[in-house]
């Protein structure tokens, strides 16, 4: 049997994780929404070949519901990670380059957000913008930046005092020029990894907040909603309503986490020995 | 190495969570059950533990709606009462007499009624109760009650300012309160003259009732019963654990098998439907300042199309597992119901044609019709904690899509819905043993006050019939007018006429309980599943021969 070295192992695991996510997305589009039409002839069926994840109490196919729900989670997760990473980049650079006052304001903000439980902030924000899907999107998008901001700020601080930036400064280059031409290229790997590692967090938070409700319509397929509904049917033994959606959620989140970790090692091989 | 450990830990955690979930299926959680209440299968059981809902609606005080949901006869008495066949007979009033013009109601009270503290029920208590509720005026409309005259210690005369055919229903619902012991804290220690007395009430947990030793009627078989306030899932778990004797069940749970137990199922006029605001938006605000009107449902074609296009039987089969009936009005099966208002439903093609003819056409092929640039689209509010209403809403939205009407579901709570219900469709409910609710839900003068006429229905013909029904001096004359108010061949408040609601289903009230419990002769149930069954608990018996 061929022995795989660390590099090919990593590529294989990247490929597996990547295809899990890709399959989820492809199937979520490919499965027909007709499977979501209620049908009393197909109520509460345990998993069969026709309905791999079984059906719910209104006869809707659980595989379709789960995957379409995950698509929402992925979308919200992407948005959360993207906005989080962008905010973190801007604030991190600003804190490190725009002087003491800006730095202390941003550091105070970061401390405040980190000091407060994540979920509570999401709940507050989603209430403030009026609940529903908009609330979930805003809530998740604007709460995932603080820790990455702190990392980037530290990174930029270290860079700022390096010789070539000092030289660039004495050549009379503007702060904007230094920020975009010298600092940004250096911290892009950090941003990438940060983005990827924010993703699973955002997905889990989306699931938890939709689990709690928050005005999300029962028509919107969402993994949290599926799980909270399943709780109401556990007592009559409909285990498939919770187990499969829960497993798929864990699988997808773990895949993203794995991709993030592997990319971190690829970009910064030294960390592989940690 | 460290990383691996983390991963292993993560998977172990996930594993534990799922095993927990699975184990949860087989080992239901214990409710807050007092160990003394454990069910013992003796031959002559005299104590019951019952789970029905999570709180006592009305909290034993008529000023908080107590009595509106058939609960009058548990710890209280009323002047009149209903037999299971809905005939009106005397309770505290031994006999009563209504004058020809229906303006003078004379009651002869029984002497032997006593409150649970041993004091006699006096004529002053009756007078106090009615005067107090008239003055309060929130849940009990007694404005027509001009004077209460105490003729002698057994004879009470009510003088009405105008005839009121639904007054008799209020006489069966208003509980007689002790004038010496009634105050704002009455809920905490309610004293009544009914078969039982409340001995303990731990809010959110349980309420314990014991026989009232001073009760004038026959002593109930069950000397004590405890209401445990658990949600439907916890109740089912408690049932499987054997810690309760009777529970209310959701239709989805009705097929569960518990040894020694059976399903108790009763027909009801507890209807569910969709309210359809009849006014255009911008029609002002309610007395409480909430907006009125909805441009889409203001079009009668939309309201009629929903009434005829929705498939009621599919809702009964899907949501209720078949435990229910199709509904056509708020008053189905009652003596004042106009049977001509039964419509043929599930007529998708005809409903589509109706919309087409009214100018609702899908121009941009998105599956949703438009008329003058307005999309046939509306929100439907439903209480998200109510499983049955939520499921009905899901099916309604799906069926409406076939008609080209887009319904967006909004899961909500009553605090929010109170502000939205005059301008948006709501998944509404109703059903009473009297036609007064029909009056309240269609009369323009009551529009916007509490849950009365939330659709702002205003049809002068209907209003006139309802006034005539209210002022009728005989029940027959009243019923005739109630029927005409629903449909007189030209207009009405039913689906054939203005269609201010799309009433969809009547749910069977489902309970599971020990098969030895004999719950006696049950009337057709009304809105409110808990007290519909418990109303006659003083007549329940234990049938040891039943297996």
ipTM: 0.79
Q: B257 and B201, same structural domain?
A: yes
Mean pLDDT check: name the lowest of B53-57, B170-174, B324-328.
B53-57
**What are the chain B neighbours of A38 within 8 Å (beta carbons)?**
314, 318, 394-395, 398
B132 shares contact with chain A (CB less than 8 Å): no
pLDDT of residue B42: 57
pLDDT of residue B305: 95
What residue ranges do the domains of chain A occupy? 54-269
pLDDT of residue B317: 93
pLDDT of residue B519: 92
Tokens in use for A225?
């909603």
* For residue B33, pLDDT beyond 80: no
Cβ separation B21–A250 shorter than 8 A: no
pLDDT of residue B511: 94
Instruction: Return d(Cα B157, Cα B97) in angstroms, integer.
Output: 9
Average pLDDT over residues A30-36: 86
Cβ separation A246–B18 shorter than 8 A: yes
Chain B residue at shortest CA distance from A238? B25
Q: B96 and B186, same structural domain?
A: yes
Cβ separation A235–B253 shorter than 8 A: yes
DSSP tag of B225: E
Which band of pLDDT confidence, cut at 50, 70 and 90, is reported for residue A202?
Answer: confident
Average pLDDT over residues B179-204: 91
Cβ separation A219–B411 shorter than 8 A: no
Q: Are strands B271-275 and B93-98 parallel, antiparallel or unpaired?
A: unpaired
CATH number at residue B387: 3.10.105.10
pLDDT of residue B16: 46
**Residue with the larger pLDDT of the pair A29 and B69:** A29
Q: B526 and B498, same structural domain?
A: no
**Residue with the larger pLDDT of the pair A259 and B18:** A259
* For residue B15, pLDDT beyond 70: no
Which band of pLDDT confidence, cut at 50, 70 and 90, is reported for residue B127?
Answer: very high
pLDDT of residue B422: 94
How confident is the model over A238-247, as pLDDT tens digits? 889 999 999 9
Domain span at B94: 76-191
Q: B219 and B337, same structural domain?
A: no
Query: End of a domain among B143, B173, B191?
Result: B191
* For residue B265, pLDDT beyond 90: yes
Q: B493 and B417, same structural domain?
A: yes
Give the best residue of A46, A133, A134, A217 to mutate against chain B (max B CB count within 10 A). Answer: A217
Q: B483 and B419, same structural domain?
A: yes
Which CATH superfamily, name and number, covers A54-269?
A: MetI-like (1.10.3720.10)
Minimum-distance CB partner of A235 among B233, B319, B393:
B233
Distance from CA of A55 to the nearest CA of B (A): 13
Which band of pLDDT confidence, cut at 50, 70 and 90, is reported for residue B245?
Answer: very high
* For residue B231, pLDDT beyond 90: no
pLDDT of residue B547: 63
* For residue B389, pLDDT beyond 70: yes
* For residue B30, pLDDT beyond 80: no
pLDDT of residue B10: 52
* For residue B244, pLDDT beyond 90: yes
Cβ separation B21–A232 shorter than 8 A: no
How confident is the model over A96-109, as pLDDT tens digits? 878 889 999 999 99
Q: B221 and B247, same structural domain?
A: yes
Chain B residue at shortest CA distance from A215? B411
CA angle A131, A133, A137 (to 5 degrees): 95
Tokens in use for B421?
């219900």
Query: End of a domain among B165, B191, B217?
Result: B191
Q: B500 and B521, same structural domain?
A: no
How confident is the model over B430-465, as pLDDT tens digits? 998 889 999 999 999 989 888 899 999 999 999 999
**What's the pTM value of the predicted model, to 2 decimals?**
0.84
Please state the separation of Cα B194 from the chain's center in Å: 22
B24 shares contact with chain A (CB less than 8 Å): yes
The 3-class SS string of chain A reads CCCCCHHHHHHHHHHHHHHHHHHHHHHHHHCCHHHHCCCHHHCCCCCCCCCCCCECCCCCEHHHHHHHHHHHHHHHHHHHHHHHHHHHHHHHHHHHHCCHHHHHHHHHHHHHHHHCCHHHHHHHHHHHCCCHHHHHHHHHHCCCCHHHHHHHHHHHHHHHCCHHHHHHHHCCCCHHHHHHHHHHHHHHHHHHHHHHHHHHHHHHHHHHHHHCCCCCCCCCCCHHHHHHHHHCCHHHCCCHHHHHHHHHHHHHHHHHHHHHHHHHHHHCHHHHHC
Q: B483 and B334, same structural domain?
A: yes
Average pLDDT over residues A40-65: 89
- DSSP string covering B371-419: ETTEESEEEEEEETT-HHHHHHHHHHHHHHHHHT-EEEEEEE-HHHHHH
Instruction: Return d(Cα B236, Cα A261) in angstroms, integer.
Output: 45
Average pLDDT over residues B301-330: 94
> Number of CB pairs < 8 Å for A and B?
79
Q: B424 and B284, same structural domain?
A: yes
Interface of A with B (CB under 8 A): 37-40, 43-44, 57-59, 213, 215-219, 231-237, 239, 242-243, 246-247, 250, 254, 261, 274
Q: B470 and B492, same structural domain?
A: yes
* For residue B32, pLDDT beyond 60: no
Chain B residue at shortest CA distance from A41? B318
pLDDT of residue B518: 92
Cβ separation B394–A58 shorter than 8 A: yes
* For residue B11, pLDDT beyond 70: no
How confident is the model over A113-166, as pLDDT tens digits? 888 888 888 888 888 888 778 888 888 888 888 888 988 888 888 888 888 888
Distance from CA of A234 to the nearest CA of B (A): 6
Chain A residue at shortest CA distance from B313? A40
* For residue B45, pLDDT beyond 50: yes
**Residue with the larger pLDDT of the pair A211 and B135:** B135
Average pLDDT over residues B205-230: 92
- Structural domains counted in chain B: 3
pLDDT of residue B313: 95
Element (H, E) at B81: strand B80-82
Percentage of chain B beyond pLDDT 90 is 62
DSSP tag of B118: S
pLDDT of residue B41: 52
Instruction: Return d(Cα B345, Cα B193) in angstroms, integer.
Output: 48
Query: End of a domain among B476, B492, B507?
Result: B507
Average pLDDT over residues B485-512: 94
Which band of pLDDT confidence, cut at 50, 70 and 90, is reported for residue B495?
Answer: very high
- B positions 33-62 inside 8 Å of A (CB): none
**What are the chain A neighbours of B10 within 8 Å (beta carbons)?**
254
pLDDT of residue B35: 43
Q: B394 and B301, same structural domain?
A: yes
Average pLDDT over residues B305-334: 93
């Amino acid at each position: 049997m061929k022995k795989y070295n660390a590099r090919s192992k990593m590529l294989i695991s990247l490929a597996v994780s990547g295809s899990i996510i890709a399959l989820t997305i492809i199937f979520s589009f490919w499965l027909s929404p007709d499977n979501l039409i209620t049908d009393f002839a197909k109520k509460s069926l345990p998993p069969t070949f026709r309905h791999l994840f079984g059906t719910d109490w209104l006869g809707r196919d659980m595989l379709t519901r789960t995957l379409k729900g995950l698509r929402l989670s992925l979308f919200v997760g992407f948005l959360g990670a993207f906005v989080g990473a962008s905010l973190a980049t801007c604030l991190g650079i600003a804190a490190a380059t725009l002087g003491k006052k800006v730095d202390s304001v941003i550091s105070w903000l970061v401390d405040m957000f980190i000091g407060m439980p994540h979920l509570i902030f999401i709940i507050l924000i989603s209430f403030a913008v009026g609940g529903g899907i908009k609330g979930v999107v805003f809530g998740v998008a604007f709460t995932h930046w603080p820790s990455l901001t702190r990392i980037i700020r530290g990174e930029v601080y270290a860079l700022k005092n390096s010789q070539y930036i000092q030289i660039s400064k004495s050549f009379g280059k503007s702060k904007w020029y230094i920020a975009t031409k010298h600092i940004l290229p250096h911290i892009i790997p950090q941003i990438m990894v940060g983005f990827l590692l924010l993703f699973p967090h955002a997905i889990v938070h989306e699931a938890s907040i939709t689990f709690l409700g928050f005005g999300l319509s029962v028509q919107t397929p969402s993994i949290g909603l599926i799980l909270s509904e399943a709780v109401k049917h556990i007592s009559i033994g409909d285990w498939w309503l919770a187990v499969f959606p829960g497993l798929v959620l864990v699988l997808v989140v773990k895949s993203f986490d794995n991709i993030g970790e592997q990319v971190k090692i690829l970009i910064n091989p030294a960390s592989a020995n940690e | 190495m460290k990383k691996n450990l983390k991963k292993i830990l993560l998977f172990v955690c996930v594993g534990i969570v799922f095993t927990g979930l699975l184990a949860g299926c087989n080992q239901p959680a214990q409710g807050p059950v007092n160990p003394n209440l454990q069910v013992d299968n003796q031959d002559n059981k005299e104590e019951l533990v019952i789970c029905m809902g999570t709180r006592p609606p009305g909290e034993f005080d008529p000023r908080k709606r107590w009595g509106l949901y058939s609960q009058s006869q548990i710890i209280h008495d009323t002047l009149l009462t209903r037999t299971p066949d809905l005939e009106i007979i005397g309770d505290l009033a031994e006999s009563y007499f209504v004058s020809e013009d229906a303006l003078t109601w004379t009651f002869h009270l029984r002497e032997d009624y006593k409150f649970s503290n041993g004091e006699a029920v006096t004529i002053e208590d009756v007078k106090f109760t009615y005067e107090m509720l008239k003055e309060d005026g929130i849940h009990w409309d007694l404005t027509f009650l001009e004077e209460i005259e105490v003729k002698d210690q057994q004879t009470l005369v009510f003088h009405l300012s105008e005839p009121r055919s639904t007054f008799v229903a209020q006489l069966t619902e208003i509980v007689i309160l002790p004038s010496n012991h009634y105050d704002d804290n009455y809920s905490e220690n309610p004293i009544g003259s009914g078969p039982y007395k409340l001995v303990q009430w731990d809010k959110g947990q349980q309420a314990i009732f014991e026989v009232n030793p001073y009760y004038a009627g026959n002593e109930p078989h069950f000397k004590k019963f405890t209401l445990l306030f658990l949600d439907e899932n916890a109740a089912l778990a408690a049932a499987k654990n054997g810690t309760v004797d009777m529970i209310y069940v959701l239709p989805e749970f009705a097929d569960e098998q518990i040894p020694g137990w059976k399903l108790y199922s009763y027909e009801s006029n507890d209807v569910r439907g969709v309210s359809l605001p009849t006014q255009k938006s911008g029609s002002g605000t309610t007395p409480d300042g909430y907006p009125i009107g909805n441009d889409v449902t203001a079009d009668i074609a939309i309201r009629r199309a929903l009434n005829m296009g929705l498939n009621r039987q599919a809702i009964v089969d899907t949501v209720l597992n078949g435990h229910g009936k199709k509904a056509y009005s708020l008053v189905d099966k009652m003596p004042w119901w106009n049977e001509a208002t039964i419509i043929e439903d599930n007529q998708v093609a005809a409903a589509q044609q109706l919309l087409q003819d009214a100018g609702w056409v899908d121009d941009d092929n998105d599956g949703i019709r438009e008329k003058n640039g307005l999309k046939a689209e509306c929100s439907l509010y439903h209480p998200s904690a109510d499983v049955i209403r939520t499921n009905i809403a899901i099916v309604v939205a799906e069926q409406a899509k076939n008609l080209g009407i887009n319904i967006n579901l909004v899961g909500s709570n009553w605090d929010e819905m109170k502000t939205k219900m005059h301008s948006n469709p709501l998944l509404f409910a109703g059903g009473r043993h009297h036609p007064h609710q029909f009056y309240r839900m269609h009369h323009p003068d009551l529009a916007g006050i509490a849950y009365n006429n939330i659709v702002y229905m205003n049809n002068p013909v209907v209003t006139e019939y309802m006034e005539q029904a209210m002022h009728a001096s005989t029940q027959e004359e009243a019923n005739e007018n109630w029927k005409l108010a629903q449909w007189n061949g030209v207009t009405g408040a039913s689906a054939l006429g203005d269609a201010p609601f799309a009433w969809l289903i009547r749910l069977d009230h489902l309970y599971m309980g020990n098969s030895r419990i004999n719950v006696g002769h049950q009337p057709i149930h009304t809105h409110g599943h808990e007290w519909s069954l418990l109303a006659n608990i003083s007549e329940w018996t234990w049938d040891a021969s039943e297996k």
